[in-house]
Every structure is written in C-alpha cells, then in structure tokens.
Structure 1
Amino acid sequence: MQVKQYDINGDPTAWNDYVLAHPAGTAAHMLAWGRAAHVSMGHPLYYLYVEDEGRIRGLVPLVHVKSRLFGNSLISVAFSTNGGPLFDNREVLALLDQECARLAEELKVDCIEFRNMDRVHDDWPCKDEMYSVFRKELSPDNEENMMAIPRKQRAMVRKGIKFELTAEIDQDVGRLYSLYAESVRNLGTPVFPKKLFQAMKDEFGNDCEILTVCTPEGQAIASVMSIYFRNEVFPYYGGATIEARKYAANDFMYWSVMERAVTERSVEIFDFGRSKNNTGSFSFKKNWGFEPRPLHYEYYLREGCQVPEVNPMNPKYRLMINTWKKLPLGMANFLGPMISRSLG
C-alpha cells in the first residue's frame, strides 16, 4: 500500500466513488468541496489517499489555512462541519496518520484538525462538547413529516404558509449572498467571499440548490444553499433579513427545503448541520424534533503547540464580534472576505 496525493484538477471519479461508497462519507469529503475553497480563496489542498493494487483504500482531504490572526492549520475539511479521514481498516488509517504528521512538519503547521462524526483516535486531544450535529430520517409522505415537527414549531411553519410566502429556486447566488451577508454581519461574523458561493454552485452542479423565500409582494427575505449527497439534503449557507422574523420565513424556508427534497429528490435524511451547544441555533434545530449528536474534532499537535480556540465563544474575539455588528453593511462586506478566508 502507498500513500499518494490526489490531483485535485484531474478526474474526480476515483476519489468521489470511494466517498460515495463509504458509510461515513459526507458532502464535505467530495472533491468539489475542497476545490471550491481552493478556487475561491486560494487555500492549498493536500488530498491524501492510500492506494492498494490500483484501488483507493482510504483518504483524508486537507485544506491548509494559514493566518497570523487565527493560526496555521491543516483542516479536514475547512469551511465545513466534518470531513475527517475515511478508511477501510486501522492499517490504512495508520498510513494516513503517518503521512499527515510528515506533512505537518514539512509545512510547519501548528496542528491538524480532523472534523469527525465519531472518534477515530482515542489518544488524540479532542473537542466533543462544543458542536452538535442534527440529522433525522424523513418519511416519503410530507404530511407525516409535517406532523413529526413538534406542535409549537409546526405552528411557526404554518404561520409562514398563512403569510403566503413563496419558495423560489435561484440559478445564481445573487439573492442568497445579499441575505447571507446581512445576516452574518448582524451576528458579528465576517462574510465569506461571494466567489465561495459561486464556486460551490459550479463544483457541485445540480447537487447544489439555492432556495429563496419571498413575500407575496416579491421581496426576498430568506435564502439557503443546500447540498444533495446520496440520499441526504444538507442546507448549509443561509441568511435572512431582520424583517423575516415576523413572517416566520426561516421556519418556512427549512420546511420548503425538506418538502422539496422529499418530493423532487426522494431524499431520506435531512442534515440540519452543526450548531454550537447552548446557542440560539442549537435550540432552533432541537425545536424541530431533531436530537443533537456531538461532533468529535480531533487534533494532531506539533511539539509546543496547543489546541486552537478559533470560535465566537472565545473571549479573545468578543470585542471583534461586538464591533463587527456595528459596521455599515457595505464596509462589512468589503472587509469580511479578507478575514473570513482565514477562519477555516
């Protein structure tokens, strides 16, 4: 068996076929995810795989994110909720770990971060109390899916329906990006570059869908980009105006994604993505009847380095967040991409 580096600009078939066949594979493991980060923000990719008799036996996609402000890391996978190593057996994992350690020394990174659903290394430092993921099986009958939503949350979905909101499928990222940029500014978070959204759309093709919610007057008030992977739908980048709250537009939006995914794509799993524990986003998803499942982020640390704490809960960043919320939207949109590309 040999560890090799995949040509990210070459034929994605062998890499993607392994991801699609592996039970722990996710949309973030697909070559499209890393290529979108590379094309839009220039981050180097180190997509490692183990080959045995011409077949892939395991892989790990690494994105190199380097910043004076946020550190120097190899992340599997950056700008996603998960994406840690996939492997056939522990021998394959050991080969991947060995090459990752060598690469860490060569690039002089502080650490390697594996974003896993479940623990892979019992002896590595691990964060398992910060993030949870929300996933749920769907019925092929949308009326059953509606009734499976707890009563209070179901009332919010019906509120959006009564307001006669409409869900439209956008072919470009324009409306999504405007709503997303406004939303994250209000949260005190720098916006990602528009190129990232376009690159995701280009790389995933028909498996990337943008749904925008409009009022009866035609005003766009909420929008979300979803990725389809196997039998799953994964609404990921989303945003809304402050006015959207009175229409229950976010509730209507996620129901519309769910409804459409079942009707148009026969989807069986709704992946609500990750949220930080004990936050508003965490409570919102739990109110839909989804049970949180802890994510396990594992770290290989070079000598003398510590587990990074790049998250909004870190007091070190509170002043920056509070200041960012007060910026004019135009300024936030100009400065945001210069900062967010280093967040990972």
Structure 2
Amino acid sequence: MTCSVRVASDADRQSWDDFHRSAATLHHAFDWGWRSIIRDTFGHKPLYFIATDDSGQVQAAAPVFHVKSFLFGSALISVPYLNAGGIISKTDDAAEAVERAIDEKAKELGVDYVELRCRKVEPLLEGRYSPRSHKVAMELQLTADPEEQFKTFPAKLRSQIRRPTKSGLYVKVAPADQNYSEDFKGFYSVFAENMRDLGTPVYPKSLFSRTLKHFGKRAQIITVWQEQRPLAAGITLQDRGHVEIPWASSLRKANKLSPNMLLYWESIKAACQAGADVFDFGRSSPDSGTFRFKKQWGAEPVELCWYYHQEMKKIPDINPNNPRFNAVVACWKRLPIPVANAIGPWITKAIP
C-alpha cells in the first residue's frame, strides 16, 4: 500500500480527530485542538503531517510545530509544551512515510534539531534518530470506585489526605464546560506564584483559557481553598481512559496545611468518577522529589523516549537544573510576582 503525505489543513480536522480517536495511543497531545492553541498562544507554526492511502483514508499522523527559540534555536518538535508526541499510525509503511516527510521538512527549513516526544520505544525511529530517556511519566492504574481507590493507599498517605479538611480546607472541582471564572483566577494566581518561587517563567493565561475552552467537559479545574484564598490548584485533561494533570501547583507558604495532598486526591477521585483507567501525574526526573511524591500514590514510572535526529547539533538541555541557568533561576525567584507575570509569558515562547 502506498501513502501520500502532506501537511494537514483546516479541512482535515474531522478526519484527523476520527483517526486519533481510533488509535491505540491514549494521550490528549494528539488532539487537533493543540494546533490552534499552541499557534495562537506562542506563535509557533503547526505542521500536522497526515498520510492517506489511495482511498483517502488516514493511515498515519504526526502533530509537529516549527519552534523558533532565541534560546535554543530552530526546531521541529512534536509536541512542544506537552508530554507526548511523535507518530501514530496503522501501518509501519505509513509511519515511515511520515517520518521521511518530517526529515525533508527539517532539511527544507534548516532547523537545528528535530524532537519527537514519544512515550515508548519506537523501533522505526531507531538508527536515524537518537533516543533520550531522561524523563518518566508516572501513571496510576485506577479502579471504578473512588472509595476502593482510596483504600489502596498506605495508611500514612490516607492520613495526609484527610489532614487538610480537618484544618478547614475545601475543594472545588469545576468542569470547563461550565462557569469556572473564579476557579480559573484561583488556579492562575497559585500557578504563577509557584512558578516564580521555583525560578521558572510562567505560561500566559491564554494557554490555559484556550485549552479549557477547547477541551470543555474533558477538562477540569481542581482548586483547594482556605476560606476565600486558593492554596493549591491543577488542571486535568482527559483522552478516553487516560487523564493527565499537566499543570498543578501549591503555595509554599501553605505547605504545613498539605493542600497538595487534597488536590491530587480530588483529581484522582474525579478521574475515577469520569471512568478513566489511568491517572497520569505528568513527567518527572527519576529519583527526584516529584518522582518520589508521585510514587507514594502507587504510580509506576513509564519511560519516555524522546527521539532526536542524529544529524542535528547538540541536544539542548532545557532543564531548570542545568547549571547554565543557576544565576537566572536565583534572580527570578526574587522578582515581584507582577513583574514575573509580565515577563514570563514572553520568555516561555522560547522554552518549549
């Protein structure tokens, strides 16, 4: 079977989404909506490659963006800002055709590197691409009953989850297809302050508002409050049986109240109630503090294989722990929040 490969246009949205929903790969990163969300938020050009057979049926697809970063150069990335990407396909021939098209586009544009954020080893990429397994996704298998899920946790963890409510903290879970304006304000205020405290530029509000608008009832904002003050917050996104919490934060000054424990439990509980099979805590570096935090819930590491084209320049080390950024991180932590919120969104365009 021969396949023709092209860059998808707006007219391909329905066929793309139908193909994504029929694919075995479960992750929201392959949703067509990111094409406009990332383009309109960060200005990166989407190049959504699609392979069709002689009858016009989609056989393979790859969501790719041309990212131009003043920090890390020009690149083709699938998918920037997200924890998944690469090629989904029905056949090896179709996947190879898409991979060749990506390579040809990379040469045409003269990019510095190509990055495919796969969630497993891809034999078809071995040889032409170099794998880098420096991160893992932490996934928790879910039961249908939240109460049964709660019983699977160690006694110490269950006690930590109960502690915040005994201190008067409460939770709000807001589906994004309803009125969530107060919850959104609470989320962003917590997220922005925590990013500043970590020494990391914050994403623009528009990234989250566009994401929530597109995903609708497949997205939820979970916030933990003390009276009228938000202490922890996160956003979850669902793709069929897979729920991920790609963005979550809590205020350091509220650590003694353990709002983070309540945040994650309510997120897991909501995922169970939504019929999900897997709760994805997002990516972590092995044996890091966040890795151990997620591990205590029973989550197991899933090695992420990010592939880089062998002909490219040195792989960029986009990591706040990179010694190159130590001074910048230290300075950023001292910025007033309004200043960090004003500058951060501009810088994140260059940090995919």
Give the secondary structure class of the aligned counterpart of 1:139: coil
What one-letter code is carried by the residue in structure 1 that aligns with 2:33? A
Alignment of 1:169-188 (within 5 A): 169-170=173-174, 171-172=180-181, 173-188=184-199
Quote the RMSD (CA, aligned, Å).
Answer: 1.5
Determine the C-alpha separation between the residues in 1 that align with 2:11 and 2:52. 17
- Secondary structure of residue in 2 paired with 1:125: strand
Which residue pairs with 1:289 in the alignment? 298
Is residue 26–residue 242 contact of structure 2 (8 Å, CA) maintained in 1?
no
1:254 has 2:264 as partner: yes
CA distance in 2, matches of 1:191, 1:49: 32
- 1:36 paired to 2:37: yes
Determine the structure 2 residue equivalent to 1:57: 59
Distance 1:337 1:253 in 2: 25
Q: Describe the shift of the 1:278–1:329 C-alpha distance in structure 2 as closer, same or farther (beyond 3 A).
A: same
TM-score normalised to the size of structure 1? 0.94
Q: How does 1:154-233 map to 2 (within 5 A)?
A: 154-170=158-174, 171-172=180-181, 173-215=184-226, 217-233=227-243
Quote the residue 2:105 is aligned against.
Answer: 103
Residue 186 of structure 1 and its aligned partner are, at CA, apart by 0.6
Residues in 2 aligned to 1:113 and 1:138: alpha-carbon distance in whole angstroms? 31
Aligned residue number for residue 73 of structure 1? 75
Q: Given residue 282 of structure 1, which amino acid in structure 2 is its aligned partner?
A: F
User: Which residue in the other structure is 1:306 paired with?
Assistant: 314
C-alpha distance in 1, partners of 2:65/2:155? 42
Alignment-mate amino acid for residue 204 of structure 2:
P
Aligned position for 2:154: 150
Amino acid across the alignment from 1:143? E
Matched AA of 1:299: Y
- Following TM superposition, by how much is the alpha carbon of 1:234 offset from its aligned partner in structure 2, in angstroms? 1.2
SS in 1 for 2:247: strand
* Structure 2 letter corresponding to 1:317: F
Structure 2 Cα separation of the partners of residues 98 and 266 of structure 1:
38
**Does 2:337 correspond to 1:329?**
yes
CA drift at 1:5: 1.2
Structure 1 match to 2:14: 13
Q: Could you tell me how far apart the structure 2 residues matched to 1:234 and 1:283 are?
A: 18
Count of equivalent residues: 339
- Is the partner of 2:33 in helix, strand or coil? helix
**Residue 275 (structure 2) pairs with residue 274 (structure 1):** no
- Long gaps (5+) in structure 1: none
1:102 to partner: Cα distance: 0.9
Asked if 2 retains the 8 angstrom alpha-carbon contact of 1:35 and 1:203, the reply is: no
Deviation digits for residues 196-246 of structure 1 (CA, Å, limit 9, x no counterpart): 11111122122121111112x232111111101102221111122123312
Tell me by how many angstroms 1:46 deviates.
0.2
Mapped contact 2:26–2:241 kept (Cα < 8 A): no
The answer for the alignment partner of 1:88 in structure 2 is: 90
Deviations 1:14-51 (A, max 9, x none): 11121121112410111112321112121100000100
Are residues 25 and 139 of structure 1, via their aligned partners in 2, closer, same or farther at CA, if it must alter by over 3 Å? closer
In structure 2, the residue corresponding to 1:64 is in which secondary structure? strand
Counterpart code for 1:159: R
Q: Distance in 2 between matches of 1:291 and 1:174?
A: 32
1:313 Cα shift?
Answer: 2.7
TM-score scaled by length of structure 2: 0.92
The answer (yes or no) to whether the contact 1:213–1:222 under 8 Å persists in 2 is yes
Asked whether the equivalents of residues 71 and 351 of structure 2 are also in contact (C-alpha less than 8 Å), the reply is: no
The percentage of aligned residue pairs carrying the same residue is 30
Given residue 149 of structure 2, which amino acid in structure 1 is its aligned partner? N
Structure 1 stretches of 4+ moved >3 Å: none
Q: Which shows bigger deviation, 10-19 or 111-120?
A: 10-19
* Secondary structure class of the residue paired with 1:220: strand
